[in-house]
Amino acid sequence: MINQFSSPLRKNTSTFSFTLGNKAGGIMPSSSASSAAGFSDASFQEWRDLIYELSGIYFQDNKKYLLESRLQKRISYLNLGTFEKYYEYVKSGPNRKNELKYLFEVITINETFFFRNQPQLDALVTTVVPALLESNGRVNKNKLRIWSAASSSGEEAYSVAMVIWEMLRPKYPGLTLEIIGTDINYAVLETARSGIYKEYSIRNTPPYYLKKYFKQDGNTWEVIPDIKRLVTFKELNLTDDAGMKMMTGFDIIFCANVLIYFDTKSKIKVINSLYNSLNRDGYLFIGYSETLHGISKAFKLVSFPKTIGYKKE
Ligand SMILES: C[S@@+](CC[C@H](N)C(=O)[O-])C[C@H]1O[C@@H](n2cnc3c(N)ncnc32)[C@H](O)[C@@H]1O
């Protein structure tokens, strides 16, 4: 028997139990060819292909200077001098594995904030979770597994934990909740694990939640322990087949504001993996500006006030 509000799965998952048993600095170069040793079109193509192969992220032609400035940070730090030398360092250098961490840190865009998508949170607590918990034939009625895929620094995962704790804990006191946040960028995951945020992250947080679920210390806000212990974070590349196969048995997946960085082929691959990670009757939520049109026909589109979800039937 799992203790009330204890977190027995702390290391791998987080469990919310009502018997419930639980960012690289650097110089921004100008776009001139003289920065580092010039980012030639050939080097850009080579880098674009490598990053795509490693992460599914596709840098369009108009993002050449963005990529140049991002890579420049590591080239300067490592004192390598040219984009070609850094390419060899990442592709076949002895520190390859370790360097990938830093590469992903500089090339990813990690914008996120608490309560970013209120209509999704409303749909979650008014309809999706109650329907899942009350559906006939549900094998484990008291357990809910939620995944924030591409969680960045954790604001989405913690927002989900807060609304469920606030709105549904009283109604389903026996619920076991596990929320997992994953990202390819190890540095943002460190922030996520700390649960400590600057004003920028909490700017959209309803005052009620800010007061109840954060502890303010000067100009930082820390998520309270009751919420922190419901959520765990781990590094995961959404295009890594082996890693994705380990992610099974989820009732709800949030995969928001990351598909925009992928091309169609990567989107299809990732969405297909997420589909396989969901339980039957589970839901997938993506970002406001994202769509599965032309990506997957496997889901049933479900409308909620001011938002939509994708259901696996
Ligand atoms: C803009 S943030 C979105 C954060 C959050 N989901 C939200 O909607 O607020 C996109 C995140 O996707 C992550 N990302 C990009 N490519 C990824 C990949 N192949 N696997 C996992 N995470 C990835 C980035 O590191 C970044 O933190």
Q: Which of 107, 127, 162 is the last residue of a domain?
A: 107
Q: Ligand 1 center to residue 264 CA distance, Å?
A: 16
Q: Measured from the CB, is residue 116 less than 6 Å from ligand 1?
A: yes
The whole-angstrom separation of Cα 168 and Cα 2 is 19
Which residues fall within 8 angstroms of residue 12, CB to CB, at 6 or more apart?
Answer: 232, 234
Please report the pLDDT score of residue 38 as a whole number. Answer: 83
CATH for 92: 1.10.155.10
Q: Measured from the CB, is residue 184 less than 6 Å from ligand 1?
A: yes
Asked if 177 and 73 sit in the same domain, the reply is: no
Domain span holding position 208: 16-22+111-311
* Candidate of 104, 105, 107, 108 to mutate for ligand 1, largest count of ligand atoms within 8 Å of Cβ: 108
Asked if 70 and 203 sit in the same domain, the reply is: no
Asked if 97 and 138 sit in the same domain, the reply is: no
Residue 184 lies in a domain: yes
* Candidate of 152, 253, 260, 286 to mutate for ligand 1, largest count of ligand atoms within 8 Å of Cβ: 152
Asked if 149 and 53 sit in the same domain, the reply is: no
Q: In what order do the strands lie in the sheet with 196-198?
A: 196-198, 220-223, 214-217
Q: Measured from the CB, is residue 110 less than 6 Å from ligand 1?
A: yes
Q: Ligand 1 center to residue 132 CA distance, Å?
A: 26
Residue 46 corresponds to which tokens in the numbers above?
Answer: 């080579």
Single-letter amino acid code for the residue at 57? I
Residue 234 corresponds to which tokens in the numbers above?
Answer: 């781990």
Which residues fall within 8 angstroms of residue 302, CB to CB, at 6 or more apart?
Answer: 283, 308, 309, 310, 311
Q: Ligand 1 center to residue 128 CA distance, Å?
A: 24
Q: Please report, in tens digits, the pLDDT of each residue of the chain (313 residues total).
A: 222 222 222 233 333 343 332 333 333 333 333 346 689 999 999 999 999 999 999 999 999 999 999 999 999 999 999 999 999 999 999 999 999 999 999 999 999 999 999 999 999 999 999 999 998 777 677 899 999 999 999 999 999 999 999 999 999 988 999 999 999 999 999 999 999 999 999 999 999 999 999 999 999 999 999 999 999 999 999 999 999 999 999 999 999 999 999 999 999 999 999 999 999 999 999 999 999 999 999 999 999 999 999 999 9
Which residues fall within 8 angstroms of residue 128, CB to CB, at 6 or more apart?
Answer: 252, 283, 309
Q: Which of 92, 107, 122 is the last residue of a domain?
A: 107
- Residue with the two structure tokens 């469990």: 15
Residue 259 lies in a domain: yes
Q: Measured from the CB, is residue 284 less than 6 Å from ligand 1?
A: no
Query: Which uninterrupted H or E stretch holds 196?
Result: strand 196-198
Please report the pLDDT score of residue 36 as a whole number. Answer: 61
Q: Measured from the CB, is residue 187 less than 6 Å from ligand 1?
A: no
Asked if 261 and 179 sit in the same domain, the reply is: yes
3-state secondary structure of 207: helix
Q: Ligand 1 center to residue 256 CA distance, Å?
A: 8
Please report the pLDDT score of residue 141 as a whole number. Answer: 74
- Residue with the two structure tokens 């592709």: 91
Residue 10 lies in a domain: no
Which residues fall within 8 angstroms of residue 210, CB to CB, at 6 or more apart?
Answer: 202, 221
The whole-angstrom separation of Cα 208 and Cα 144 is 25
Q: Ligand 1 center to residue 258 CA distance, Å?
A: 5
Q: Are 151 and 182 in contact (CB under 8 A)?
A: yes
Please report the pLDDT score of residue 7 as a whole number. Answer: 28
Taking the alpha carbons at both ends of the chain, their separation in whole angstroms is: 32
Residue 204 lies in a domain: yes
DSSP 110: -
Asked if 149 and 197 sit in the same domain, the reply is: yes
Q: Measured from the CB, is residue 256 less than 6 Å from ligand 1?
A: yes
For ligand 1, atom 8, the nearest C-alpha belongs to 256
Asked if 97 and 126 sit in the same domain, the reply is: no
Single-letter amino acid code for the residue at 236? L
Q: Measured from the CB, is residue 244 less than 6 Å from ligand 1?
A: no
CA 232 vs. chain centroid, Å, equals: 12
For ligand 1, atom 5, the nearest C-alpha belongs to 151
CATH for 250: 3.40.50.150
Asked if 241 and 271 sit in the same domain, the reply is: yes
- Which candidate, 249, 283, 21, 256, places its Cα nearest to that of 130? 283
Give the total number of structural domains in the chain. Answer: 2
For ligand 1, atom 3, the nearest C-alpha belongs to 257
Please report the pLDDT score of residue 14 as a whole number. Answer: 39
Q: Measured from the CB, is residue 159 less than 6 Å from ligand 1?
A: no
Asked if 103 and 116 sit in the same domain, the reply is: no
Residue 4 lies in a domain: no
Say if pTM beats, i.e. exceeds, 0.75. Answer: yes
DSSP 62: G
**Angstrom distances, CA of residue 223 to CA of 111, 132, 209, 210, 216:** 19, 27, 10, 9, 9
Q: Measured from the CB, is residue 57 less than 6 Å from ligand 1?
A: yes
Asked if 255 and 144 sit in the same domain, the reply is: yes
Q: Are 196 and 221 in contact (CB under 8 A)?
A: yes
Q: Which atom of ligand 1 is nearest to the CA of 56?
A: 19
Q: Which of 75, 107, 139 is the last residue of a domain?
A: 107
Asked if 131 and 227 sit in the same domain, the reply is: yes
The whole-angstrom separation of Cα 67 and Cα 114 is 28
Residue 32 lies in a domain: no
Q: Measured from the CB, is residue 202 less than 6 Å from ligand 1?
A: no
Asked if 85 and 130 sit in the same domain, the reply is: no
What are the φ and ψ backbone dihedral angles of 219, each rounded to 5 degrees?
-105, 30
Q: Measured from the CB, is residue 109 less than 6 Å from ligand 1?
A: yes
Which residues fall within 8 angstroms of residue 158, CB to CB, at 6 or more apart?
Answer: 114, 195, 223, 227, 228, 231
